[in-house]
Structure 1
Amino acid sequence: MLHRCRRSPASEPVAAELRCRGFRSARRGDGPARTGDSGRTVSSPIDDWRPSASWEVLEARAGMLTRLRRDFDRAGFLEVETPLLSGDVCVDEHIEPFVVSGLDDEQLFLQTSPEFAMKRLVADSARLIYQVTRAFRRDEVGGQHNPEFTMVEWYAPGSTYLLQMDLVEHLVRGVAEVAPRCPPWTALPSSGEPFGRLSYDEAFARGLGVEVLGRSTDELVELAGRELDSVPDSLDASDRDGWLNLLLAERVEPTLGKDRPEFLYDFPSSQAALSRIRRGEVDVAERMELYIDGLEICNGYQELTDADELAGRMVEQSQRRASAGRRSLPVTSRLESAQRSGLPDCAGVALGFDRLVMRTLGLERIEQVMAFPFRRA
C-alpha cells in the first residue's frame, strides 16, 4: 500500500545521484508532520499538495518523452489519440477497470489500454500509428504500480513481434541518450552491445536449470516445492499458469535484465491474451517482454487477427473472471466488428513510460517519476 507520506529517506541518495548528473536538489521543507499509527512520522494530508517527483526529474522526463516522439516520427509513425472513456474494454482475468456511470446511466470504462481503439484504426487504414496516453487499472498501487499511468502503445502493420524488439531497443537507447547520467548508472550496455534475447524456456533453463513449457502441472508443482521456500496456500494445484507465474516471478524475473536489458519471448500458449499462437511440438504465444534490472518495461504481441478467435478468448476470459468472483465485463466490442472487416497482420507493443523513466534514472519507486501519484492526486 502506498501511504500518504513525505519522500522516503531512501530518496536522499537519489537526490545526491541526480546532483551528480547535473540536477539541482529540489527538496524543500515538507511542512508540519504527524506520527502515524505505526509510530512512523508521516506528513499531514494537507501537505500532500507538493509533487512527489523533483522538478529535475520532471524536466528529465519531459526530455525523454520529446525524444521518444521524435524517434517515432522519424520511423514513419503517426501519433493518434483515442478515447479514455468507452463502453468497450479489454476483458482480462487479472486486470480490473474503473467503471464510470455515463449518460443515461450506461456503463463506461476508463481504458486499461488503448489497444481496442488503436486496432480499429489499423483495421481502417493499415498505417503505422503510436499513442502516448493515460491508462487506468484498479487495485494496482505500490512501489512500481499506480492506478493511473503513462502508456506508450504502437502498432506496425506488416511487421512482427520479433522485429519490434529492434524498434524497442532503438527507442530505449534514444531515451537513455538524453537522460542525465553519471556512475553508477549501468542500466544499459554500451552502444555496440545488443540487448539480450531469451525464449521463455531458455530463461527458465538459465534460472532453474529446466525448461517448463512441455511439463505437466504436477511437475511444475513439484518444481516449485523444490525451488521455493514457500508457496501461497490459495494457489490451486491444478492452476498451471498460476504455478508458471509463481516460478517466473520468484526465480526468473529477478534475473532478467541485470547485466543488460533482456527480451523474454515465446510465452506459454495459455497466456496468449490477444496474441497469435504458433502451433508446433509445443505451442507458444508470439509475445515478448523487455526487462531492465528485473522490471518489466514493455510487452508486445504478434496480434491476433481472427475475429472468431477473439470472440472466443473474450468469453474465456469472462468465464475466468466469473470464477474468480470479479465484475462481469462486456464480451462484445467494436473491435470484433473491425476485425471481421479485416485487421491486417501486425505487431503491437505497449511500453510503461513511467517504469522506463525509473530505470533510466536509477530510481526505485514510481512516485519518484510522477508529479502526483494516486495518493496525492
Structure 2
Amino acid sequence: MTNKIELFHLQQAIRNFFNKDGFMDVLTPPIVENPGMEVHIHPFAIHSVHQNKTHELYLHTSPEFHMKELLQEGLEKVFTMSYCFRDEPNSSTHRKQFVMLEWYRANENYKKIMEDTINLYQFCHAHLKSKGVRVIDLDDKIKKVTVQEIFLEVLNIDILELIDRDNLYSLIDQKFSRITLSGNRDDYAWDDLFFLLMYNYIEPEMEKYSFLLLYEFPSPLRALSTIKENDPRVCERFEVYCRGIEICNCFNELTDSSEQSFRFKKDAKLKGELYGYSLPWPNRFLSKLEIGLPKSAGIALGVERLLMSLTGMEEDAFYD
C-alpha cells in the first residue's frame, strides 16, 4: 500500500504555506547542461535511444543553479517543488528520484530561512492532522545547536580547534575505537574524517530529537555558503535532523564569482580523483554570478523525508 495521498496532502500544505507569504511558485528545467558540482553527488546523463549515444546533458540533481538565476533577474521570494535525480543506491533514506522543495529569499540572511523552516514544519504538521493523517506528537521542543556545541556535548571535543586534517586524523586514530582508519593518512580529506565522527557518534545521538537544527558548520564544509565574518572557522549554513534523519540543507549564499569558481575547481579535481569522471564547467551559472547575485539565502528540503519525520512512515512505503 502506498502513501501517495498523504504525500499529496503534504505538497498542498507546502504550497499553501509559501503562497500565503507571497512567494512565487516556479518551475526549473529538469534537463540541464550542468547538474551541479557537488563531489559526492552523481547525476544521470541523458541517453538518446534512437541515436545510441549519450549527449552532454543531464537530469538535474537540484534546481539550485536555475533558482539563483531567478534571484539575479530580480525575483525576491521563490520556491519550487519537483523531482530531482541522483545516481545512488536505494536505501531507507535515498531514492534515485525524489521530490525536492527549494526556496530562496533575496536580500535576507540564512537566519530568516531558519524561521521559515521551523514555521513550515509546524504548519505542515497541523495541515496533515486536519486531514486525518496520523502524525507524530510535537511535544518535544525544537532544538537549535551549533556543530561546535553538539561535538562538545557528545564527544567532548572542540571540532573548530581541529580544522587541520592531520590533527583530526590523529585524534580519531588515538581515541575513537568505533572508527577503523584503513590505508594512508593522505587517503582522507578533512570532510571524510568529519563525517566518520558524525555517522558513528553524533547522528545516533540525534535520534532522540524530533527536530534538531544544526548550524555553523566548520569552514571546510562551506560548499556554496558564506564564511562567517567574525569567525572564519565556520560557514553560514544549517541542516535539520528529525529523529536522526537529515531533511534539509541551507546556505547563506555565496555571491563572489571568483571564490565560487575557485571552489568549483577544487571540487571538480576531487571528483575526478575519487570517481574518475568530470562534468561540464558551469559556464552559465558563473556568468550569471558575475553579473551579480543579491545577498540571499536558500534551502533544499526532501519532501518524502519531511513526510517520514511528521508521520513516522518508512520510505519504502512511497511510490516511484
Q: TM-score, normalised by structure 1?
A: 0.77
1:219 match:
167
Please state whether the residue corresponding to 2:249 is helix, strand or coil.
Answer: strand
1:82 to 21, 28, 33: 28
Number of residue pairs matched?
Answer: 311
Unaligned runs of 5+ residues in structure 1 are 1-25, 27-52, 373-377
2:56 to 101, 104, 107: 107
Alignment partner of 1:131 is 2:80: yes
Measured against aligned partners, the alpha-carbon deviations of 1:322-369 in whole angstroms (never above 9, x if no partner) come to: 1113321122321111111111000000000011111211123x221x
Whole-angstrom CA distance in 2 between matches of 1:67 and 1:277 = 33
Q: Which residue in the other structure is 1:67 paired with?
A: 13
The alignment status of 1:178 with 2:124, answered yes or no, reads no
Per-residue deviation, 1:272: 1.0
Of all paired residues, the percent bearing the same amino acid is 29
Q: Using the TM superposition, name which of 317-326 and 273-282 deviates more.
A: 273-282
Matched, 1:208 2:150: no
* 1:246 is aligned to 2:192: no
Residues in 1 aligned to 2:92 and 2:7: alpha-carbon distance in whole angstroms: 18
Contact 2:178–2:200, Cα closer than 8 Å, also in 1: no
* Cα root mean square deviation, aligned: 2.1
Match of 2:267 among 317, 320, 326: 317
- Specify the code of the residue in structure 2 equivalent to 1:207: V
1:165 aligns with 2:111: no
1:326 is the counterpart of 2:276: yes
Q: What's the offset of the Cα at 1:256?
A: 2.2
Structure 2 alignment gaps of length 5 or more: none
Q: Distance in 2 between matches of 1:300 and 1:189?
A: 25
Matches within 5 A, 1:1-377: 26=1, 53=2, 57-101=3-47, 106-179=55-128, 180=132, 185-186=136-137, 188-189=138-139, 193=141, 195-215=142-162, 216-225=164-173, 226-233=175-182, 236=185, 238-256=188-206, 258-364=208-314, 366-368=315-317, 370-372=318-320
CA contact (8 A) 2:44 2:87 kept: yes
Q: Deviations over 1:193-232 (max 9, x none)?
A: 4x21111101111111111122133432243232332325
**Deviation, structure 1 residue 282:** 4.4
Shift of 1:259: 3.1
Q: Can you list the C-alpha shifts for 1:102-155, whole angstroms capped at 9, x where unaligned? A: 699641010000000111111001320000011111124211100110000011
Question: Contact 1:112–1:136 (CA<8 Å) still a contact in 2?
Answer: yes
2: CA distance, partners of 1:87 / 1:330 = 7
CA distance in structure 1 between the aligned counterparts of 2:16 and 2:184, rounded to whole angstroms: 45
- Once the two structures are TM-superposed, the CA of residue 234 in structure 1 deviates from its matched residue by 5.2
Equivalent-residue separation in structure 2 for 1:97 and 1:299 (angstroms): 19
Aligned to 1:340, the other structure's residue is in SS state helix
* Structure 2 length-normalised TM: 0.91
Q: Evaluate the alpha carbon distance shift between residue 360 and residue 235 of structure 1 in structure 2; reply closer, same or farther with a 3 A threshold.
A: farther
Query: Match of 2:41, as an amino acid?
Result: I
